[in-house]
């Protein structure tokens, strides 16, 4: 966590970009405010957290999944950010991604946007000085550069506990961190939620999700930012609640090494989300070594035996079957990101955890993988190519493909689910406002729901053709 001086020094260089931000974001800040006035912060350290209870705010309470991740309702969350801090967030975004509303391309930033303290309100209760920042990679860049303020947020409820001792170990019904995904490139606003539920329904570790309507008050009263998907963070409660031991290494791979192609390993591509001070990547290095060992072709049984000592192949094959049946191009096999690996202390095996599913349940921009991976380069994506080429592993994969299409992704059940969710979300989706929406009109939402229904039917046919 950053102390006050460090945060000030981080923010200071970008504050003087503020006047240029005003020209492109004039509806979000007061154009008469001067940079020196923005630097001036009101001392807000003296307050009493009157809404604090053990059940709602304390880390002594177990995570309340039923409260936070309710399936059959759309709950409201309000975020209140002072105009000063909102201005600093916008100026920081300009320093990272250029002028708001201007498409200038560029690569993703290596830095995350800044956290600021904000208040969060839910069901009449307040959470105090919550760390709030914008989040995302391509979704963040593209939303910002298109002039859309429906940006994703990350919430960290005790990020600023060093500055505000009153909020030490503050939690939101047992959760320290939560993501608010903006449903980028998803006019149905359901892909993130439905895909995560499918993964869990087939028995995989996956984040809980729920649909929320989000309002942000950045100085002039609440503004409807639209329909968001709230997502459980993997490095918070996912490994706490879905594994028997949370002390293992958790990696969030991203970069060339995350393809697992021969010779591509780099520590920088396997960022540790736990045990960060332990400079040991031997579990990942062992997986690389065994995956590319010559025994794969000379002694497949020995290769499988050695691989299964360090990698949970069964979980991966179940994930692979599920992900390929439902389709999701923005992850391993097409992109070198959007998954986690957790070294489960229970068996000392690296376990696959899916992440970031807003591009799922469609063919996608880059084209999804075929069920037999005929459009995959095995050497470029060996975790898929090498395992599928092995007859034993291919038979396991095929059995999971059949289970998925007859179970968690059965076409008739999916049609009914989309109808139900569509009716639930429609009133909130169709009231989104210009500048805070990806919809061109209210009909876009229903069209997207219909596309999901068509997709479920077409995938059932594709699986039948593959298995026959």
Clarify whether residues 259 and 403 are in a common domain: yes
Residue 462 domain flag:
yes
Residue 200 resides in a domain: no
Q: What is the pLDDT of residues 46-67, one digit of tens each?
A: 999 999 999 999 999 999 999 9
Clarify whether residues 283 and 293 are in a common domain: yes
* Residue in 259, 233, 257, 255 with CA at minimum distance from that of residue 246: 233
Shared-domain flag, residues 132 and 150: yes
The order of strands in the sheet holding 339-344 is 270-272, 250-253, 339-344, 349-354
User: 10 Å Cβ neighbour count for 27?
Assistant: 10
Same domain, 357 and 278: yes
The domain total for the chain is 2
* The predicted structure's pLDDT at residue 33: 38
Is 129 part of any domain?
Answer: yes
Residue 193 covered by a domain: no
Same domain for 257 and 153: no
Q: Are 221 and 301 in a shared domain?
A: no
Q: Which of 197, 216, 242 is the last residue of a domain?
A: 242
Number of C-beta neighbours around residue 339 at 10 A: 21
Confidence band, pLDDT 50/70/90 cuts, at residue 221? very high
Residues 277 and 290 in one domain: yes
Is 197 among the domain residues?
A: no
On whether the CB atoms of residues 429 and 189 are closer than 8 A, the answer is yes
Answer yes or no: do 131 and 9 share one domain: yes
Contact 10, 96 (CB under 8 A): no
Residue 25: pLDDT band by 50, 70, 90 thresholds? very low
Indicate whether 348 and 464 sit together in one domain: yes
Same structural domain, 211 and 265: no
Note the pLDDT of residue 449: 98
Q: Tokens 């801090």 identify what position? A: 85
Kindly state whether residue 190 falls inside one of the protein's structural domains: no
In total, the chain counts a number of residues equal to: 468
In angstroms, the CA 179 to CA 195 distance is 16
Q: Is residue 211 part of a domain?
A: yes
For residue 187, being part of any structural domain is answered with no
Instruction: Give the tens place of pLDDT for each residue, 321-331.
Output: 999 999 999 99
pLDDT at residue 15 greater than cutoff 80: no
Task: Please report the pLDDT score of residue 41 as a whole number.
Answer: 62
Q: What share of the chain is helix, strand, coil (3-state, %, to 5)?
A: 40, 15, 45
Q: What pLDDT digit, counting tens, does each position of 93-144 carry?
A: 999 999 999 998 777 778 999 999 999 999 999 999 999 999 998 999 999 9
CA 164 to chain centre: 28
Q: Would you tell me how many other CB atoms lie within 10 Å of the CB of residue 26?
A: 10
Across residues 301-324, what is the average pLDDT?
A: 98
Q: Considering 226, 242, 258, which residue would you say is the last residue of a domain?
A: 242
Residue carrying structure tokens 């391509």: 138
Same domain, 105 and 133: yes
* Secondary structure letter of residue 292 according to DSSP: T
Q: Both 176 and 307 in a single domain?
A: no
Q: Which domain, by its residues, includes 107?
A: 4-182+206-242
């Amino acid at each position: 966590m950053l102390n006050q001086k460090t945060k000030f020094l981080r923010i200071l260089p970008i504050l003087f970009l503020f006047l240029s931000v005003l020209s492109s974001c004039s509806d979000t800040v007061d154009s008469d405010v001067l940079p020196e006035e923005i630097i001036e912060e009101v001392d807000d350290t003296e307050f009493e957290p009157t809404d604090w209870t053990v059940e709602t705010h304390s880390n002594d309470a177990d995570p309340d999944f039923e409260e936070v991740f309710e399936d059959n309702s759309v709950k409201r969350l309000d975020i209140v950010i002072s105009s000063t801090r909102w201005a600093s967030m916008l100026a920081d975004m300009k320093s990272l991604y250029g002028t708001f509303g201007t498409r200038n391309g560029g690569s993703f930033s290596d830095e995350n946007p800044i956290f600021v303290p904000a208040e969060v309100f839910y069901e009449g209760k307040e959470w105090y000085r919550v760390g709030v920042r914008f989040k995302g990679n391509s979704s963040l860049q593209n939303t910002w550069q298109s002039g859309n303020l429906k940006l994703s947020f990350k919430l960290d409820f005790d990020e600023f506990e060093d500055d505000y001792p009153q909020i030490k170990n503050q939690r939101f019904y047992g959760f320290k961190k939560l993501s608010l995904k903006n449903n980028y490139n998803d006019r149905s606003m359901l892909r993130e939620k439905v895909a995560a539920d499918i993964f869990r329904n087939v028995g995989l570790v996956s984040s809980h999700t729920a649909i929320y309507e989000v309002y942000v008050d950045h100085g002039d009263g609440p503004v409807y930012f639209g329909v968001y998907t709230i997502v459980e963070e993997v490095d918070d409660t996912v490994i706490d609640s879905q594994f028997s031991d949370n002390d293992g290494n958790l990696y969030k791979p991203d970069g060339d090494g995350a393809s697992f192609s021969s010779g591509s390993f780099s520590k920088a591509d396997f960022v540790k989300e736990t045990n960060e001070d332990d400079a040991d990547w031997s579990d990942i290095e062992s997986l690389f070594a065994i995956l590319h060992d010559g025994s794969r072709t000379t002694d497949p049984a020995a290769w499988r035996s050695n691989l299964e000592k360090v990698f949970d192949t069964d979980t991966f094959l179940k994930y692979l079957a599920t992900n390929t049946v439902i389709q999701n191009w923005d992850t391993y096999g097409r992109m070198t990101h959007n998954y986690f690996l957790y070294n489960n202390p229970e068996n000392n095996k690296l376990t696959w955890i899916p992440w970031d599913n807003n591009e799922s349940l469609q063919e996608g921009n880059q084209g999804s993988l075929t069920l037999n991976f005929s459009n995959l380069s095995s050497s470029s994506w060996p975790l898929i190519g090498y395992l599928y080429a092995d007859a034993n592993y291919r038979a396991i994969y095929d059995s999971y493909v059949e289970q998925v299409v007859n179970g968690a992704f059965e076409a008739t059940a999916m049609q009914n689910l989309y109808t139900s969710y569509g009716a639930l979300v429609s009133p909130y989706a169709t009231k989104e406002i210009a500048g805070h929406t990806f919809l061109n009109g209210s009909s876009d939402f229903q069209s997207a729901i219909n596309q999901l229904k068509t997709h479920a039917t077409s995938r059932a046919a594709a699986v039948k053709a593959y298995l026959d």
